[in-house]
Chain A
Amino acid sequence: EAGVAQSPRYKIIEKRQSVAFWCNPISGHATLYWYQQILGQGPKLLIQFQNNGVVDDSQLPKDRFSAERLKGVDSTLKIQPAKLEDSAVYLCASSPTGGRVETQYFGPGTRLLVL
């Protein structure tokens, strides 16, 4: 079974530029999550989708971050404009259903550096 795919793996941009990350979840997984992991910290949930609907985006900085999951499969996370403090690893995870924590499968992440 193929795992969660993310691209790009690395991205370097200057502050105030825009950037987008892509995630392809495991086939058939209804729930998709985006996490932000700042160096030295644990991952923090930014947004959770159930199919193509948003379940939780309470920690998403909506003035600059946006995410969509058209057709309930792939997802993109965008930052516009980026700030220095957005430097982090952005992790995507998916699960067959929304409730069972043990079935969350994480991708390798996209490492973003904002200069």
Chain B
Amino acid sequence: DAKTTQPTSMDCAEGRAANLPCNHSTISGNEYVYWYRQIHSQGPQYIIHGLKNNETNEMASLIITEDRKSSTLILPHATLRDTAVYYCIVRGNFGNEKLTFGTGTRLTIIP
């Protein structure tokens, strides 16, 4: 079973920041938070991951609360191409531990 809870769907205006929340209240100390997204008719695509510090890359920023029980993925300037299902996944960062996807958040960018 997925260890995360995400809203089923969200809308965001084009050009605005999209903030996608994720709850992972049972996360353990050695587990990371990963974000993937899946654009329609494509396979999932890795976005970003973090342990406890905030992270930023060319695609997005990840804000993890101090108690690590929740996080927010931020797409700073959303475009229509960001319309996708976004998955928040909790996983240890070692060995061959599998990726367990939940149902994700369907983000729709509105022109």
Q: Which residues of A contact B (CB under 8 A)?
A: 4, 40-45, 48, 50, 55-56, 91, 93, 98-109
Q: Which of B90-105 contact A (CB under 8 A)?
A: 91, 93-96, 98-104
Q: Which residues of B contact A (CB under 8 A)?
A: 2, 32, 34, 41-46, 49, 87, 89, 91, 93-96, 98-104
Q: A91-B43, A106-B45, A109-B43 are in contact. Are A45 and B99 (CB under 8 A)?
A: yes
Q: When the two chains form their complex, are residues B98 and A48 in contact, meaning their CB atoms are under 8 A apart?
A: yes
Residues of chain B within 8 A (CB-CB) of A56 are 96, 98
Q: When the two chains form their complex, are residues B103 and A98 in contact, meaning their CB atoms are under 8 A apart?
A: no
Q: In whole Å, how far is B84's beta carbon from the nearest beta carbon of chain A?
A: 13
Q: In whole Å, how far is A35's beta carbon from the nearest beta carbon of chain B?
A: 8
Nearest A residue (CB) for B98:
A45
Picked from B2, B34, B44, B102, the residue with its CB within 8 Å of the CB of A106 is B44
Q: A42-B2, A42-B104 are in contact. Are A99 and B43 (CB under 8 A)?
A: no
Q: A91-B43, A101-B34, A108-B41 are in contact. Are A43 and B101 (CB under 8 A)?
A: yes
**Assembled-state Cα–Cα distance A4/B42 (Å):** 11
Q: When the two chains form their complex, are residues B99 and A99 in contact, meaning their CB atoms are under 8 A apart?
A: no
